[in-house]
Chain A
Amino acid sequence: MVKIFFAIFLIGGLLQSAMATGSESFLLGAVENLPTSLRIVKTCGNWQYGQQEGYYRLIIGDVHNGAGSEVYVQFITNPDQNTASKLIKTLAFSELNNDHSQYYFQSIDCSTVGKFTYVNVTGQYEHDEIPKMHHISIKLIDMNHYQLVEKKK
């Protein structure tokens, strides 16, 4: 019993010490201001066009209180010693982000095949008469071009 009390006392003391030494959460404000509609935000894969290179940020956001959702891919440059990373392009997909032809996306990831990155999303579609899961692959060709392919599973 004395040992448990001592352990709790010690952990409490360590936590207080960490707070007192000022290890701030630098991004707290930014994270608190992240809209609740952005449900999934993740990085995935790498890109290189000309002299620029970086990574992709994949985003799924909800619309209409989560009745539907939309998908976006952002191109972000890698930071180096002298330069911070920079968002240089946000790709939206009109075929998928359509108020009258709405999906609800449940997952997003990416894979690299050869020199192309494929963003893979799964979701339900509002006009399906028989509910099913759609598996859609977005082939990223460059910063302005892509190809959509629905996979049959």
Chain B
Amino acid sequence: MLHIDSNGRVLSPKVKLAISPAIERGEMRVIHGIVVHQTDSPTAVATLNGYKIPKSNGAHFLIDKDSTIYQTASIYKKTHHVGWIKSRCIVEHSCSSTDLRALKNKRPGAPIGRIEARKPFPQRYPFNEDAIGIENVGEAFPKKAEDRQKKFEHLTSQQQESLRWLIHELTQTLKISMSEIFRHSEVSWKLETEGASARW
């Protein structure tokens, strides 16, 4: 179990505090899930520097290739890390006829995402409003390829170990179901290989 203080900071020798208020948004009142990301950036330093830019986007944790875990935002604050979400009922083949009517002829992105965002959890995926984000340092190659051709590098074994530990601790402490842990590309329209090698 993690010790989390009243400011949403994880107090653990395994987690380095590097909180950037610039990526924090409003209060996150409830936490339903965790979304696993990759940064598409070569180093943790590059990402941490980016998080200092006012109104920048980021996730709550950052795991470096050498296994270092940084906490970059309060557990109790929202961050912008997911974006428009896919329809969960389409993926899980559980749409009602009303769902299907609402989603008919809607293109990916905003049109579907906005319909989904209005649904209560767990009819939709966890997103910016109720999900913790975990970034892993890692790039997608080749740099100049189109989105379909780009592939993220695999997480290092040290990253895998840290990710597994962090997810285990967060789910235990915050009572998050293991079925609500997703790779970014599962819940939103992103590179399919983002977080594909991540295991928990």
Contacts and interface: CB of A to CB of B under 8 A. Distances in A.
A associates with B: yes
A67 B84 contact: yes
A104 B40 CA distance: 20
Contacts of A100: 37, 40, 57, 81, 83, 190
A129 B25 CA distance: 11
Interface stretch (A47-55, A58-66, A111-119): A58-66
B55 to A, nearest CB: 10
B90 interface: no
Interface in A114-147: 124, 126-127, 129, 131
Nearest to A68: B109
Contacts of A124: 109-110
Contacts of A66: 107-109
Nearest to B83: A126
Nearest to B140: A99
Contacts of A67: 84, 107-109, 188-189
A63 B147 contact: yes
Interface string A19-49: 0000000000000000101000000000000
B164 interface: no
B11 to A, nearest CB: 28
Range, interface on chain A: 10 to 19
A99 B114 CA distance: 18
A126 B110 contact: yes
Contacts of B113: 126
A72 B138 CA distance: 25
Contacts of A102: 83-84, 109
Given A65-B189, A126-B84, A101 B57 contact: yes
A127 B108 contact: no
B80 interface: yes
Given A99-B190, A126-B113, A64 B81 contact: no
B57 A127 contact: yes
B108 A64 contact: yes
Contacts of B109: 64, 66-68, 102, 104, 124, 126
B92 interface: no
Interface string B85-125: 00000000000000000000001111001100000000000
Contacts of A68: 109, 189
A119 to B, nearest CB: 22
Contact of A127 (B80, B147, B189): B80
B40 A127 contact: no
Specify which of B57, B110, B113, B189 lies most central, judged by the most chain A CB atoms within 10 Å of its CB.
Answer: B110
A129 B79 CA distance: 11
Nearest to B81: A100
Interface in B29-64: 37, 40, 57
Nearest to B192: A64
A127 B83 contact: yes
A104 B147 CA distance: 15
Interface of B: 37, 40, 57, 80-81, 83-84, 107-110, 113-114, 128, 146-147, 188-191
15 contacts: A35-B146, A65-B108, A66-B107, A67-B188, A68-B109, A99-B190, A100-B37, A100-B57, A100-B83, A102-B84, A104-B110, A126-B84, A126-B188, A127-B57, A131-B110
